[in-house]
Amino acid sequence: MTKLIYPFSGVAGIYFPVGKLTEGGTCEFASEKCLEVCAAFKNATDTNKIAYDTKCKIFTDITRCEAKNVIYKIAKEIKEMQMEVLYWFPSGDCPNEFTERITNIIEGLSFIIPEQIGFTRNQELWEKTNRLQLDNVRLALTLEKPYKSKLQGMLSLGTIAVPNYNTGNIRLYRCNQSYTGCGAGIVYVKTLDKIDEKKADCSNCYKEKIGCFRELDRGG
């Protein structure tokens, strides 16, 4: 089995190939605009510029090898990297065909590693992982220009991320409130009507329990 995780913004990431399924990618639910401006294609840093062939091998191993072996391998690599956070999909996404499998792997890892986060456009994966009610699993659903009624109807399940392609930022919504903007090298944290600017680094957010790691009200 190939190496499965690589560094991403201070944490460990699982990279899948970017692009439409018909073009060898995994972004089944991505919009044309998303693919056009995707940071995995443009402006990638040295730490997350993973070769396409490598991403394909990672995807194949995670979706085809025995699940328990995948879980063991990821857990082993996380320990070797001395990381506590696993970030799903710094590039690529979970195609519908593998929703159940990825959900099972995420659930299995939740008993071994401290924290899992990530962004997906696969609504079924988002719903399944949030319904597991695991405090150390935080997948956000990416939506573009969602209607307010749709936001209100979905927020009780988990966090929703709305990208701004002009600024490069993502706003995270929970309980119908925007509490964090992340991206373009800066995290904007709103607390008590005060906005603090911090360096966009997942490891810092994890330590300070902000952004994706903010304490969630599982009761909705």
CB 219 within 8 Å of CB 141 = no
In tens, the pLDDT along 58-105 reads 999 999 999 999 999 999 999 999 999 999 998 899 999 999 999 999
Model-level pTM? 0.84
What is the percent of the chain with per-residue pLDDT over 90, rounded to a whole number? Answer: 47
- Among 35-44, 114-123, 182-191, the least confident range: 182-191
As a whole number, mean pLDDT of residues 115-124 equals 94
Vertex 66 angle, CA 64 and 71, to 5°: 105
DSSP one-letter string for 91-156: S----GGGHHHHHHHHHHHTTTSSEEEEEES-HHHHHHHHHTT-TTEEEEEE-SS--HHHHHHHTT
In tens, the pLDDT along 129-144 reads 988 989 899 899 998 8
As a whole number, mean pLDDT of residues 108-116 equals 95
What does each C-alpha distance from 1 to 7, 50, 127, 170, 180 come to in angstroms?
18, 17, 29, 34, 37
What does each C-alpha distance from 183 to 9, 11, 155 come to in angstroms?
11, 15, 21
Residue 153 has pLDDT above 80, yes or no: no
Q: Which helix (H) or strand (E) holds 205?
A: helix 202-208
What spatial distance separates the first Cα and last Cα of the chain, rounded to whole Å? 40
